[in-house]
Amino acid sequence: MTVLLLWLGLALGWGLCGVLGYWLWHTQKNQQQLSKINQTAQQTIQQVQTARQTAQAQLTALTKTVQEAVLFVNPDLTLHTASEKAQTLFGTFDPSTGAVPVRSYTQSLEIEVFLRDTEQSALQNEVLEQQIQLMGHVYRGRAVRYANGIALSLSDVSELQRLSRMRRDFIANLSHELRTPLTTISLLLDGLNTLQQPLTAEQRHTLGRIRNETRELQQMAQEVLDLAQIESGRALFRLRKTSLSPMLQSQIERLRPLAENREIAIDAHLPENLQVLVDEEQVGRAFGNLLHNAIKFSSQGGKVCISTIQVSEEVRISVQDQGPGISERELTRVFERFYKADRTRSSGGTGLGLAIAKHVIEEGHGGKIWAESSGQANAGSTFHFTLPIA
Amino acid sequence: MNTTILIIEDDTGLRTALADNLRNEGFAVLTEQNGQSGLERARAASPDLIVLDLMLPGLDGLSVCRLLRKESNLPIIMISARGMEMDKITGLETGADDYVVKPFGMGELVARVKAALRRRQPEPNAHHITLLRINDLQIDLIGRRVFLDGNELHLTQKEFNLLVELVRNQGVVLSRDLLMTQVWGDDYVGGNHTVDVHIRWLREKIEANPSEPVRITTIRGIGYRFEQ
């Protein structure tokens, strides 16, 4: 019995030792794993901290260097960060003093409303723009919503606005100063036709020349105005369903006296009942510019052909002349502002007509305009442009 | 008795040329060279028609037109070097019967003078539309309120102005830049993406399915159109 108990005790002892040994081994293994996890966590924390520090440093550098006033705002419209320029504008911001509503910091309801609109209605990372009045100046505000806040930049555009207003007024005054005497000349010419004594052939010829030169000046005054619009970077167009042929025909009739003076025939093949989606006044003028050039560069007794062709949802209009032609090198350059091809083609004008036509066709109507010429002397040239069919 | 025309124009050359030509056409002609004296002459002499320059020293043409329109409906033809469509609209909305852009020929002006004299009695209140109605959409221009199917919509000031501009040009494609200029003003400095954003917000309020709009449609690469 005693021996049995001894054996049992021994077995139990060995068993306990085994369990204890296993427990010790297992714990040690766990500890190793834990320390490994701990190590990885430490590394991750350090990486995150470094990244955060870098981001913070970059943000600080950015807020110090950026020219605009920049505000970072929390979704509840309290201020998070203000750039140095912003602090110059709105006063010092100390984040440690607690949450500051952007409204009380900027003293601007406009900014608050703009930020609220951005917070509620903008897509993520979509930039919204608004002009904001602050302390007698006009600012261009740009806001973007990101994951947990809104960024707003403000740049002072008062000076830019003043200059653009000055330019607009200057152009308006200039056009007034030019157009008024031109109208007077036209009216005086009209008055001469109603004189009691009939005019001699020579007098009539001279009057015809004065009238043509007046038209040239009127064309130039119009081109200067059109240029002002292009320079402003704005494309102001109203597109309506318009019959193509009457629009082109009215320009042909307008320029027919000029063509007849130089014994140039205008041969036009226009489609019936084709509707295009255009700003009639501006496309009419663009076409008029092309036709005017074609007549100007044709030699006496020549012919100008106008044709149209329908290509899927567009119509292509072509104006072909028998003038001196354009070299390959100049085919694309003729559409640049103030560019005049070689002197043989130069016969007055502002050099703006084609640039204006390009602006009207491409910016205003999403069409294309281009020139073709074989490049050989007197082979003539063809100008094409496309318009959307209504 | 001859039909009397009053010309208010500051440029001596143009004033004289106009007067001579209109006299040749058989009209009796009075002339004035600034807005204030023109206004007084118009009140005193009661001409049959006024040819009025837009840019006058002192009291400008638009103001003269606005003041005269309050007192009488005598035809006014405005002449101006400013030929943009906006200028014409402003002139016509002020109450001018016609708007002639310099340079013009005598034939054109005489034709317009005769046409304006024929239509001497304009319809009362023709220039004062206060309510726009497009199917179930109703816009009160005075109260600046919009109703869809009888329910009032809450539009911001810019959304309201944008909607009115589009509706007034129903069926016409307006370029982004044009909308920008009309709604945000000539002085706006910035890109035209703002127009797209406000169109999106407007569609969310007036379209049954804003992602497939039927009222305000996009004309790719150009702008927007309020459909008829």
Give per-residue pLDDT as tens, B211-222: 999 999 999 888
Q: Is B11 within 8 Å of A160 when comparing Cβ atoms?
A: no
Question: B91 near B77, Cβ under 8 Å?
Answer: no
> Which residues, in sequence order, are bridge partners of residue A156?
A139
Which domain covers residue B156, as residue numbers?
131-226
Give per-residue pLDDT as tens, B58-86: 888 888 998 888 888 889 999 987 766 66
CA gyration radius for chain B? 21
CATH classification of the domain holding B102: 3.40.50.2300
Q: In terms of pLDDT, which residue wins out, A142 or B108? A: A142
Instruction: Count CA atoms within 13 Å of residue A284 on its CB side.
Output: 19
Domain A63-156, architecture per CATH: 2-Layer Sandwich (3.30)
- Determine the average pLDDT of the residues in B198-220: 92
Q: What is the ipTM of this complex?
A: 0.70
Which chain B residues contact residue A234 at CB under 8 A? 177-178, 180-181
First to last CA, chain A: 115
Instruction: Report the relative pairing of strands B151-153 and B173-175 from DSSP bridges.
Output: unpaired
B88 and B135 part of one domain: no
Query: Of A169-178, A181-190, A252-261, where does mean pLDDT reach its minimum?
Result: A169-178
- Determine the average pLDDT of the residues in A45-62: 91
Backbone angles phi, psi at B32, to 5 degrees: -140, 150
> Which residues, in sequence order, are bridge partners of residue A371?
A383
Domain parsing of chain A, residue ranges: 63-156, 157-234, 238-390
Question: A73 near A149, Cβ under 8 Å?
Answer: yes
Interface test with B, best of A237, A279, A359, A368 (most B CBs within 10 A): A237
Q: How far is B174 from chain A (nearest CA, A)?
A: 5
Which chain B residues contact residue A130 at CB under 8 A? 194
Which chain B residues contact residue A257 at CB under 8 A? none
Give per-residue pLDDT as tens, A26-43: 888 889 899 999 999 999
Rounded to 10 degrees, what is the CA torsion of A182, A188, A189, A191? 150
Q: In terms of pLDDT, which residue wins out, A230 or B136? A: B136
Inside any domain, residue B124 = no
Spatial CB neighbours of A241, under 8 Å, sequence gap ≥ 6 = A275, A276, A277, A390, B171
What pLDDT was estimated at residue A92? 93
Q: Is the dihedral of CA A224, A230, A235, A240 positive or negative?
A: positive
Q: Is A364 within 8 Å of B184 when comparing Cβ atoms?
A: no
CATH classification of the domain holding B170: 1.10.10.10
Rounded to 10 degrees, what is the CA torsion of A33, A39, A42, A47? -120
Give per-residue pLDDT as tens, A327-343: 888 888 888 877 765 54
Number of domains, chain B: 2
**Fold exhibited by the domain A157-234:** Helix Hairpins (1.10.287)
Q: Which CATH number fits domain A238-390: 3.30.300.180, 3.30.565.10, 3.40.710.10, 3.40.50.1110?
A: 3.30.565.10
What pLDDT was estimated at residue A115? 93
**pLDDT > 90: percent of chain B:** 33
Amino acid at A343: R
